[in-house]
Amino acid sequence: MAAANHAKSPAPTRAAGEGRAMDLGLTGRKALITGGTKGIGRAAAEHFAAEGAAVAICARHGAEVTEAVAALAARGVAATGRAVDVADGPALAQWVADAAGELGGLDIVVANVSALAIAQDEAAWKAEFETDLMGTVRVINAAMPFLEKSDAAAIVVISSVSGREIDFAAGPYGVFKAALIHYAKGLSFQLAGKGIRVNALSPGNTYFAGGVWERIEHGNPDFFAQALALNPTGRMGRPEEMARAIVFLASPAASFITGTNLVVDGALTRGVQF
The CA-atom distances, in angstroms, between 163 and each of 61, 174, 183, 271 are 27, 5, 12, 12
Domain locations in the chain? Answer: 25-264
The CA-atom distances, in angstroms, between 246 and each of 60, 93, 185 are 22, 23, 16
Reply yes or no on whether 159 is catalytic.
Answer: yes
Q: Which CATH class is domain 25-264?
A: alpha beta
- Catalytic one among 114, 173, 188, 202? 173
- Catalytic one among 114, 160, 188, 251? 160
**E strand residue ranges, 60-193:** 79-83, 108-111, 154-158
Q: What angle do CA 182, 185, 188 make, to 5 degrees?
A: 150
Burial 151-161, CB ≥16 within 10 A → b, else e: ebbbbbbbbbb
Give residue 24's pLDDT. 96
Reply yes or no on whether 162 is catalytic.
Answer: no
Reply yes or no on whether 173 is catalytic.
Answer: yes
Low-confidence ranges of the chain (pLDDT < 50): 1-3, 8-17, 19, 21
Give residue 142's pLDDT. 98
- Catalytic one among 150, 159, 188, 202? 159
This prediction has a pTM of 0.90
- Catalytic one among 30, 114, 150, 177? 177
Query: Which tens digit of pLDDT belongs to each residue from 21-46?
Result: 468 999 999 999 999 999 999 999 99
Query: Which tens digit of pLDDT belongs to each residue from 83-93?
Result: 999 999 999 99
Give residue 13's pLDDT. 47
Gap between the Cα atoms of 112 and 126, Å rounded: 18
Residue whose C-alpha is closest to residue 154's, from 202, 191, 113:
191
